[in-house]
Amino acid sequence: MKRTFWYAAMTKDEVQHSRMTFEEAVTINCLHTMIAIIDYAAGNLTSVARAVTHIGFRCIVTNDTKEIGKAERIIFPGVGAAGSAMESIKRLGLDKAIKEAFSSGKPILGICLGTQVIMEYSEENDTKCLGIIDGKVLSFRFDEIRRNGACLKIPHMGWNRIILKKKHFILSDLKEEDEFYFVHGYYPEPDEVDHLIGTTEYGILFPSVIGYKNIIATQFHPEKSGVPGLSILKNFCVWNPC
């Protein structure tokens, strides 16, 4: 069943109470941009939509491939298991829509599970994924995840930092002390070093930000990460990957 939920951008009064002035909002055209947040029954997408509208952008939460095709940019979030996620994505025809969006050069942001299923394969449920970025999704292993000799809990849950490996526009406001919210037991491992943008330490160093051409993806949840997370979302919403 196709479904679409519309979320309006902030009013002038709301923008004036945010970090962005109304004049800045108009200058970057954020009140006229339409962003599609892909709905494939994988978690609460309302928090992503609220974060996007909070910074002044219009968005829809949808599983309608036509609406996704019309959107100017795409956010691909999600929580849950790779196997059931890919089943939903294929059943709804979203695999083709996402690949077409990527091929067209449309900016795409993956979040958490959305970051994992853009890879070729996930160890979770032995799942073949979308294959937009070459590489695998690996599981944290109890025998590897240690700090000062003590085993760390899996899943990795809570606040952690990013170590930048290369510059990227959406991370241009990142400060060394900024922390982001994680909740995951798996992580992406791209084949190409050039696709690795940031890492995070949790017993091991794992890729927490990856990207290729017009797609950028975070293992953490920017929509749940306070001001630093909103900064990432704002930068994505004006990012021109060309």
Domains of the chain in sequence order: 4-238 (3.40.50.880)
Nearest to 129 by CA among 87, 93, 86: 86
Average confidence (pLDDT) over 212-241: 97
- Asked if residue 25 has pLDDT above 90, the reply is no
Phi, psi for 101 (deg, rounded to 5): -65, -45
Average pLDDT over residues 105-129: 97
Environment class of 66 (CB within 10 Å of its CB; exposed 0-12, middle 13-18, buried 19+): exposed
> Cα separation of 76 and 236, whole Å?
12
CA-to-CA separations, 122 to 14, 87, 119, 133, 221, in angstroms, rounded: 41, 13, 7, 12, 19
What per-residue confidence (pLDDT) applies to 161? 97
CB 73 within 8 A of CB 102: no
Q: Per-residue pLDDT tens for 191-215?
A: 999 999 999 999 899 999 999 999 9
Whole-model pTM over 0.85: yes
Contacts of 15 (CB under 8 A, 6+ apart): 21, 22, 25, 56
Active site residues: 112, 221, 223
